[in-house]
Amino acid sequence: MPDSTQSTNKASFFGRLAEQITKYSGTTAVFVGAVGIVLLWAVAGPLFKYSETWQLVINTGTTIITFLMVFLIQRAQNKDSLVLHLKLNELIAATKGASNRLINAQDFSEEEIRLIHQFYCLLADKAKADNDLGETHSVEEAEDNHHEKLAAHRND
The rounded distance, in Å, linking the Cα atoms of 86 and 127 is 28
Q: Structure pTM?
A: 0.61
As to burial, measured by CB atoms within 10 angstroms (0-12 exposed, 13-18 middle, 19+ buried), residue 123 is: buried
Per-residue confidence band for 15, with pLDDT thresholds at 50, 70 and 90? confident
What Cα–Cα distance (Å) separates residue 119 from each residue in 1, 63, 95, 102, 144?
51, 46, 19, 12, 16
Dihedral pair phi/psi, residue 93, rounded to 5°: -65, -30
With beta carbons less than 8 A apart as the criterion, state whether 139 and 123 touch.
yes
Q: What is the pLDDT of residues 104-123, one digit of tens each?
A: 888 999 999 999 999 889 88
Strand runs labelled E in the chain: none
What Cα–Cα distance (Å) separates residue 76 from each residue in 9, 36, 39, 65?
20, 26, 29, 16
